[in-house]
């Protein structure tokens, strides 16, 4: 079985109710549910939440919310991996065994069905432990600066001060949209990152963290510039 799990706890503080707050006219979590459905990949789409309100919105948009996430996995310090393990163990105990698991974040309105399909193809083709979305840094990370305690600027890696930008290795960061996992190996290792992880590389204009009200406004503006957000004939978000 192939399953999607969308983690969505109810305790967001910087953007209250962000998982079901309306984003471009639709509850935020509904974008992730819609694309999971449109991909045609999943036997079950599960929302892991501690919130009755989020569960109700998830069900209204066609996802399952079959359990209440335990309190110890719902506080500000809850990491994604334990939440996924809990959902995966529940799925295995309440239906066919899961072979492939995809975590799709609730605040990932830029995710596309074609990206999910590519991720599963990579997972299977390479026998990888995980595949996840990444994008490039907009500036060489080797030139990163930090502030000292007395307010001065200093380079994190001063050895690269005189290196040409063209000679610096391009760096990537997690795009925070989705993670494909080999379910059995994930249960053994308990980690989403592995030495054999593979990337789905996304353009930067489709990547935006949404942690603050400023992030939200920026993401919504970016989202609206991409054009009409209807389902294209092949099931992808236009």
Percent of the chain with pLDDT over 90: 89
Percent of the chain with pLDDT over 70: 95
Would you kindly state where each structural domain of the chain is located, as residue ranges? 2-136+172-225
Inform me whether the pLDDT recorded for 42 exceeds 90: yes
| pLDDT number for residue 11 | 81
Distance CA 94, CA 89 (A): 9
Inform me whether the pLDDT recorded for 12 exceeds 90: no
State pLDDT tens for residues 119-155.
999 999 999 999 999 999 999 999 999 999 999 999 9
| pLDDT number for residue 174 | 96
In the chain, count H helices and then E strands. 6, 10
Q: In terms of C-beta density within 10 A (0-12 exposed, 13-18 middle, 19 or more buried), how is residue 17 classed?
A: middle
Of the pLDDT bands very low, low, confident and very high (cuts 50, 70, 90), residue 227 is: low
State pLDDT tens for residues 177-224.
999 999 999 999 999 999 999 999 999 999 999 999 999 999 999 999
**pTM beyond cutoff 0.95:** no
| Three-state DSSP class for residue 45 | strand
Fold of the CATH domain 2-136+172-225: Spore Coat Polysaccharide Biosynthesis Protein SpsA; Chain A (3.90.550)
């Amino acid at each position: 079985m192939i399953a999607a799990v969308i983690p969505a706890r109810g305790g967001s503080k910087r953007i209250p109710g962000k998982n079901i707050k309306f984003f471009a006219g639709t509850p935020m979590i509904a974008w992730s549910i819609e694309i999971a459905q449109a991909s045609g990949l999943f036997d079950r789409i599960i929302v892991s939440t501690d919130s009755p309100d989020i569960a109700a919105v998830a069900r209204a948009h066609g996802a399952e919310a079959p359990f209440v996430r335990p309190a110890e996995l719902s506080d500000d310090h809850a990491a994604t991996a334990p939440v996924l393990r809990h959902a995966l163990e529940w799925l295995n105990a309440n239906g066919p065994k899961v072979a492939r698991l995809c975590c799709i974040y609730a605040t990932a309105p830029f995710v596309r069905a074609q990206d999910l399909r590519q991720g599963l193809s990579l997972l299977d083709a390479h026998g990888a432990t995980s595949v996840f979305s990444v994008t490039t840094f907009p500036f060489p990370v080797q030139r990163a600066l930090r502030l000292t305690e007395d307010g001065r600027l200093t380079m994190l890696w001063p050895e690269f001060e005189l290196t040409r930008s063209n000679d610096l290795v391009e760096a990537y960061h997690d795009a925070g949209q989705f993670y494909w996992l080999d379910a059995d190996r994930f249960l053994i290792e308990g980690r989403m990152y592995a030495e054999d992880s593979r990337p789905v590389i996304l353009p930067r204009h489709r990547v935006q963290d949404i942690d603050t009200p400023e992030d939200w406004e920026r993401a919504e503006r970016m989202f609206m510039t991409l054009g009409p957000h209807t389902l294209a004939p092949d099931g992808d978000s236009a």
